[in-house]
Structure 1
Amino acid sequence: MEKDSKTISGDTEVKTKDGFLLSEVQEGSSKSSRPTLAILGSGDYSRSLSERLVRSGFPVVVGSRDPDRNRRLFPQGAEMTTRHAAVTRADLVFVAVHRENYPDLQADREALAGKILIDVSNNTKIRKGESNAEYLAKLFPASTVVKAFNVVSAWTLSSGLSGGSKEVFVSSDDHEARQTVMQLAKEMGFAPVDYGSLLASREIEAIPLRLLPSWHLALKMSFGAFIFLLLYTLYRGIVFKAIDGQPDIPFQHIPVHYCNRALAGTAITILSFVYFPGVLASFVQLYNGTKYRRFPDWLDKWLLARKQLGLLCLFVASIHACLSLLEFSPAYYGRHFDKTTVTADGGVVFGQMRWSGETFLLFGALALFLMVVLGVSSIPSVTNAMNWREFTFVQGKLGWVVLLLATTHMVIYGVDIFVSPFLFVSYTIAGFQITLILPAILILLKVVTLLPCVSSRVNRIRRGWERKVPGREETPNDGCQGDEMTSL
């Protein structure tokens, strides 16, 4: 098979292995000699793909088992014909059929020999071992198989690129074929990503089937915290009263009141989860005496889940705020209101909020709105508009302010009953008290890292300093080496 591929930086001219021109740019004006592209298959994805290719200026021929039946479903610029006729007229062939239908294509094995087959298929579940593209390459050894476009949905293809992801992951054992398909993706308006050999097609095919892969740890931690606090709250408010034989067990308050208590604790617990790994990482670096040793796997995964934990914290805190507004009254929060009195003439004077009620609401509102600022700053478009100092200020210093405000909000909620004997009748501490344990430990550890004797050592380590150990020279901390290590 003759190889004739050429790539020029800037204006790009790419030829396939058989020498036909994919794109040509000369002297500031664009002149295109578009190759005919074939699509095998006449399903919904094939129709959307043909629409995208026709809008991009490519001649398209679609191969179908029943071209007369499906012709009216395709755009006017796409020619519908038989599979054999389609593959004989094109050198780039999109294989848009299911894996189980690959053997049916072997009737055209000779016509497909020497051509580039672009496998766009996906599976219904993650498959271990051989990928669809590898299976296709095994069936057609005389053809060059490229895995691409499977992460692009039919809706994205037909929507004119106004929405959806624009990345196209491309893998193949043939470098020239890979570059040809990447150039095709660019001309269709996508952003190709070179994934290397065809072995990488296993990972590419798994991408559309993964359900929130970066959210798994954050969801598990958040859900676990909520379930624990909900069960703990129900034990104190419902189960223990039933065991103790108390009358009027408030089952009717479980949906809102008791769930809201658990949500309050969950929000501040998740917020602690966001900043705990950063503090632990400082102590790990202090212990190791270097920043060049990897963190433990569990800590590394925890650090990578901080953004997702922060967004879940905002979600839970927003629900807690809404439910609190619905039930905030002297009937539920009597400790934070003056008593309602009845005058001699029968008038009712409703008690106003005490200082604890107003202060408790103030700190809660401030924490929530600053948390919204943190959430907005994590949006990629907003993050890209911020420099590094602004981003670290918002996500770092402002985040700790939110934690302090939320902790103060919880402390003021129970300050007047913190050591009251009735809180411990169920042989457990109150829900708001158990919620304060984690943020209290976190704030204490943060204070330790801010001590001059500790913070100076942490800063030196993060600039590249390493503690002297037997058999290793100590890295100096003078001169510009620290700045160089920081930039690296």
Structure 2
Amino acid sequence: MKIGIIGSGNMGRSLGILWAEQGHQVFFGSRDAEKGKAVAEFAELGTQGGSNDQAVAFADVILWTVRGMMPTQLLSHPEALNGKIIIDCNNQEIPEGFAYPAIVESLAEKLAKDVPNARVVKAFNTMAQEVFELAPEPLRDYGVSVFVAADDEQARKTVMQLAEEIGFLPIDTGTLRNARLVEGLGDFIRLIIIGQEQGAYATICVNILPAAQEQRLGGRQASSLK
């Protein structure tokens, strides 16, 4: 698969290298083409590097790591994203005291509005970069979850496959509207990592427990709650 990385920071570099290790063709893009080339050289996996526009032209799947900038602001030809899968891994800036406002429109939804003919997927926003250093082993042993939300079902499945290849447990979280919840979860994880000083390796794992053999507490009673 051809994967373009938009932004040459920690997330883009790490995920790009991991996918290149799995045999995917990866192009690292940057506003400074020389920086993109430098990341590709660092990877030493036959990856390519250059400008963000070159990364978009190259790829079928785009990892969007640029926080606070839309494609129409960053790219010379944002229409080149039409039909392509865009993975948004961003969270909003951390406010003073972690006093986040309610999320009424997710960053992923804003991205989808900016490029309505692209296939936007929310994923990879609930862990710090350090977790990627464990991929794919021993990451698989811990069952670390990646929450994947998108309106396009095939795009969602593609990103889930990409997550599984590098050792994560992908969780299908439905439509892109649910990115509001996924981004809120990312904010909570950063509270745990930074605000509660649990460290960068604190993350979320979803476990499905076996059903109880008996209901000694009376079981779930009918109510208006779902």
Counterpart code for 1:115? K
Q: Is the 8 A contact 1:134 1:198 kept in 2?
A: yes
Q: Which has the larger radius of gyration?
A: 1
Matched-pair identity in %:
35
State whether structure 2 residue 85 is matched by structure 1 residue 110.
no
Deviation at 1:95, TM superposition (A): 0.5
Q: 1:202 aligns with which of 159, 177, 180?
A: 180
Q: Is the 8 A contact 1:42 1:62 kept in 2?
A: yes
Deviations 1:158-186 (A, max 9, x none): 23343576211000111111111112211
State whether structure 2 residue 133 is matched by structure 1 residue 158.
yes
Q: Is the 8 A contact 1:40 1:93 kept in 2?
A: yes
1:45 to 1:388, Cα distance in 2 relative to 1, 3 A: same
Deviations 1:205-260 (A, max 9, x none): 11122246xxxxxxxxxxxxxxxxxxxxxxxxxxxxxxxxxxxxxxxxxxxxxxxx
Deviation at 1:107, TM superposition (A): 2.5
State whether structure 2 residue 152 is matched by structure 1 residue 177.
no
Other-structure match for 1:189: 167
Counterpart code for 2:218? R
Other-structure match for 1:94: 63
Deviation at 1:113, TM superposition (A): 1.0
Counterpart code for 1:462? G
State whether structure 2 residue 14 is matched by structure 1 residue 48.
yes
Q: With structure 1 as the length reference, what TM-score do the two structures score?
A: 0.36
Question: In 2, Cα distance between the equivalents of 1:157 and 1:110?
Answer: 31
Select the structure that is richer in strand. 2
SS for the counterpart of 1:137 is: helix
Q: Is the 8 A contact 1:49 1:158 kept in 2?
A: no
1:106 to 1:67, Cα distance in 2 relative to 1, 3 A: closer
What aligned pairs does 1:106-255 form with structure 2 within 5 A after superposition? 106-125=75-94, 126-127=100-101, 128-161=103-136, 162=138, 166-210=144-188, 211=191
SS for the counterpart of 2:76 is: helix
Deviation at 1:463, TM superposition (A): 7.6
If asked which structure has higher relative contact order (CA below 8 Å, sep 6+), I would say: 2
Moved more, 135-144 or 161-170: 161-170
1:165 to 1:53, Cα distance in 2 relative to 1, 3 A: same
Unaligned runs of 5+ in 1: 1-34, 213-379, 393-457, 466-488
Deviation at 1:198, TM superposition (A): 0.5
Counterpart code for 1:72? A
Counterpart code for 1:170? V
Q: Which runs of 4+ in 1 moved over 4 A?
A: none
Other-structure match for 2:218: 462
Question: In 2, Cα distance between the equivalents of 1:168 and 1:97?
Answer: 19
**Paired residue total:** 192
Other-structure match for 1:38: 4
Deviations 1:314-333 (A, max 9, x none): xxxxxxxxxxxxxxxxxxxx
Unaligned runs of 5+ in 2: 95-99, 193-204, 222-226
Q: Is the 8 A contact 2:70 2:114 kept in 1?
A: no
Question: In 2, Cα distance between the equivalents of 1:185 and 1:52?
Answer: 10
Other-structure match for 2:197: none
